[in-house]
C-alpha cells in the first residue's frame, strides 16, 4: 500500500494530529530506508485537500522546510508552463534569502526545456555546475526531451 493511499484513509477518519503523527511514523519507523521528500509531502497535502481540510493542508505546508515549500510551489508554476511566472516567483524567493538546491535547478531546467527554451535550460545547467551541484539522471533526461522539442534543431 502506498504512502498516499494510507494517508488518505487516515485523514478521512482521524484528526489532523493523528494524521500528521502517522506521516511521521511512516517516515521514521515504517519506510526507514526511504528518504521522504516532496512526493511524500505532496501525498500528505493531497490527503488533506481531498478531504477539504484546507486549514490542515496549510498547516502541513507551513511545517515543511522552506526549500521543500518553494520547490513545491515552483512545481505548481512549472505545470502551468509559464516561464515568466516561474522566474518571478523564483526571484522573489531569492530576494527573501532562499537557497536553491539541485531540485530547484531541475524544476527550472524542465520548464525551460518543455517550453522550447532549450538555451535557457543550458544556461541554468552551467549555473548549476558553477554552484558545485551535480546533475541527476532526471536533469539529463530533461535535456534529452528538451532537445527533441526545441524549435532550433541546430541547438538541440
Number of domains in the chain: 2
Residue 156 has pLDDT above 60, yes or no: no
SS3 for the chain is CCHHHHHHHHHHHCCHHHHHHHHHHHHHHHCCCCCCCHHHHHHHHHHHHHCCCHHHHHHHHHHCCHHHHHHHHHHHHHHCCCHHHHHHHHHHHHHCCCCCCHHHHHHHHHHHHHCCCHHHHHHHHHHHHHCCCCCCHHHHHHHHHHHHHCCCCCCC
47 in a structural domain? yes
Q: Mark whether 144 and 79 lie in a shared domain.
A: yes
In a domain, 156, yes or no: no
* Co-location of 42 and 92 in the same domain: no
Between 22-31, 41-50, 104-113, the lowest mean confidence (pLDDT) is in 41-50
Last residue of a domain, one of 63, 79, 95: 63
Give residue 136's domain range. 67-149
The mean predicted confidence, pLDDT, of the chain is 81
Task: Identify whether residues 82 and 125 lie together within a single domain.
Answer: yes
Q: Are residues 94 and 33 in the same domain?
A: no
Predicted TM-score (pTM) of this structure: 0.61
Amino acid at each position: 500500500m502506498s504512502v498516499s493511499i494510507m494517508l488518505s484513509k487516515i485523514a478521512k477518519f482521524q484528526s489532523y494530529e493523528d494524521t500528521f503523527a502517522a506521516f511521521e511514523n511512516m517516515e521514521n519507523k515504517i519506510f526507514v530506508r526511504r528518504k521522504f521528500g516532496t512526493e511524500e509531502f505532496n501525498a500528505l497535502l493531497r490527503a488533506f485537500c481531498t478531504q477539504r481540510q484546507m486549514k490542515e493542508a496549510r498547516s502541513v505546508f507551513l511545517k515543511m522546510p522552506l526549500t521543500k515549500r518553494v520547490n513545491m510551489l515552483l512545481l505548481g508554476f512549472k505545470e502551468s508552463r509559464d516561464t515568466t511566472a516561474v522566474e518571478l516567483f523564483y526571484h522573489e524567493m531569492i530576494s527573501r534569502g532562499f537557497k536553491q538546491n539541485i531540485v530547484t535547478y531541475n524544476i527550472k531546467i524542465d520548464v525551460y526545456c518543455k517550453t522550447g527554451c532549450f538555451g535557457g535550460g543550458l544556461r541554468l545547467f552551467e549555473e548549476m555546475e558553477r554552484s558545485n551541484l551535480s546533475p541527476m539522471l532526471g536533469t539529463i533526461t530533461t535535456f534529452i526531451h528538451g532537445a527533441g522539442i526545441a524549435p532550433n534543431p541546430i541547438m538541440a
